[in-house]
Amino acid sequence: MKNEELKERTKQFALRVIRMTDSLPRKMTADVLGRQVLRSATSVAANYRSACRAKSRADFISKMGTVEEEADESVLWLELIGEAGLMPASKLMALHDEASELTAIAVASIRTARKGRNNPQSAISDPRSP
């Protein structure tokens, strides 16, 4: 997957979460969980964009670590929203799956970048390429 494709995918994930949080019921629990998932999902997109502009392989790995953490955190908040009965699990499934996939992509990108750091003959020449 190319950087631009993943930038768009993470942005669309954030937009979908924005729309989902706007449809949550107006109650304290939904407000707290909605703010949390909104923060983590939008952070996935923002931090991926930042990783694409990394100044070094180590910077890229660090920023992608944040993407991984925020995507995984989004999974948790989505699960809590569903399990708390604030929204039917069926409506959250696609978002949950996307957050899980974005987590896996971040993990794979970090592993690839680390292999390149430890192996000078690695095919990865651009520290920003996941």
pLDDT digits (tens, 9 = 90+) for 25-61: 999 999 999 999 999 999 999 999 999 999 999 999 9
pLDDT digits (tens, 9 = 90+) for 15-35: 999 999 999 999 999 999 999
CATH topology for 3-114 is: de novo design (two linked rop proteins) (1.20.1440)
| Rounded Cα–Cα distance for residues 6 and 12 (Å) | 10
pLDDT more than 70, % of the chain: 88
| Rounded Cα–Cα distance for residues 73 and 17 (Å) | 13
Classify burial at 87, counting beta carbons within 10 Å of its beta carbon; exposed 0-12, middle 13-18, buried 19 or more: buried
pTM for the complete prediction? Answer: 0.86
At 11, list the tokens.
Answer: 């942005």
| Structural domain boundaries in the chain | 3-114
With H, G, I as helix, E, B as strand and everything else as coil, classify residue 55.
coil
